[in-house]
Structure 1
Amino acid sequence: MKEMLIREIQEKDNQAVEHLIRTCLIEFEADKEGCAWSDPQLGVFSEVYQPEKSCYWVVEMAGDIVAGCGIGPVESKPNVCELQKMYAFKEARGTGIASQLLGIALAFAKQFYEECYLETFSNMEAANQFYQKNGFIALSSPLVETPHYACDKWYLKRL
């Protein structure tokens, strides 16, 4: 396996991260309104994740972005963050990089928040198992209303 580097997003990564997310959304038939597919900031994450309590990390392998995830605030819930846009190309899955990425994101989140929320799709079975294995508890409905009304699985984790 090639060496992977986890680092904070840079402006030069914006297009590669958008490509990563759109490719994964197509793979899981989530290329539709009401999810990340229609987020207007998808191509400018280096700007979106600038505030103090936000960050987005990318995983680079042989100079290419192969995975990423972010932490951002949940509007109206000052003690809750959201794990956002956690995606990986097929070649990065099963390598353990997602666990490393999640560990970095949650360690960052713990500095500012008490709980971490996430939204996903039930057909992303491996992702759902991964979140549960890492202590996320399934919710019966969204914690808050977000533009991602198409998501049908919600989780919360105490930090």
Structure 2
Amino acid sequence: MEMPVIRPIEKQDNARLTELIRSILDDFGVPRIGSAYADSALDDMYSAYQMEKSAYFVIDDNGTLLGGAGIAQLDNFDGPVCELQKMYFAIEARGRGLGTEMMRICLEKAKEFGYEKVYLETMPYMIAAQKLYERSGFTYIDGPLGDTGHYACQTHMIKQL
């Protein structure tokens, strides 16, 4: 079986990616307010990641999107800190090493852009994701950095690059 490809987002990915991310958030019972679910960026992910020092990658399995993740400057924070954003994978993508590879690509891009730290927010019950973050060198911090508007996400982590 051919491995899916991780590639930069393309404009034609928008509709499918929006649908995929919102369905994954629904599957996990993530609140629709105070989380990524309400982000206007979800409706046009391609455009949202065209700003300087940001990138978004998708998992493409022969034309079927299985997930994605991106990095961008942390909102409302002054300093060389980016946020790992909208890292979600369909059930078919989980447990195949794709999360580890996606993380490697995102962290490499963050270094290339000159960031010194990577911050993330997640839901306390997203245990498998947190295990990936810990394996990737993230540590827990006591509260949020910046202001992403994701007040429903009560777990905060950071990694020094």
TM norm structure 1: 0.96
Which amino acid letter does the alignment assign opposite residue 24 of structure 1? I
Contact 2:49/2:56, CA 8 A, preserved across alignment? yes
Contact 2:119/2:159, CA 8 A, preserved across alignment? yes
- Deviation, 1:41, is 1.6
* Runs of 4+ with deviation above 6 angstroms: none
Contact 1:22/1:31, CA 8 A, preserved across alignment? no
C-alpha separation in 1, matches of 2:8 and 2:29: 28
Aligned to 1:152: 154
Question: Are 1:108 and 2:87 matched, yes or no?
Answer: no
Contact 1:58/1:68, CA 8 A, preserved across alignment? yes
Aligned to 1:133: 135
Contact 2:81/2:118, CA 8 A, preserved across alignment? yes
Deviating more after overlay: 75-84 vs 97-106: 75-84
Aligned to 1:120: 122
Mark the runs of 5 or more structure 1 residues left unpaired by the alignment: none
C-alpha separation in 1, matches of 2:63 and 2:140: 36
Contact 1:3/1:62, CA 8 A, preserved across alignment? no
Which amino acid letter does the alignment assign opposite residue 132 of structure 1? E
**RMSD between aligned residues:** 1.0
Report Cα offsets for 1:11-70 as digits up to 9, x if no partner. Answer: 100011111211110111004200001101202111110122000000001210001000
- Deviation, 1:144, is 2.1
Report Cα offsets for 1:89-136 as digits up to 9, x if no partner. Answer: 001000001111110000000122000000000111100111111110
Q: Percent identity over the alignment?
A: 40
Aligned to 2:88: 87
C-alpha separation in 2, matches of 1:142 and 1:15: 30
C-alpha separation in 2, matches of 1:52 and 1:39: 19
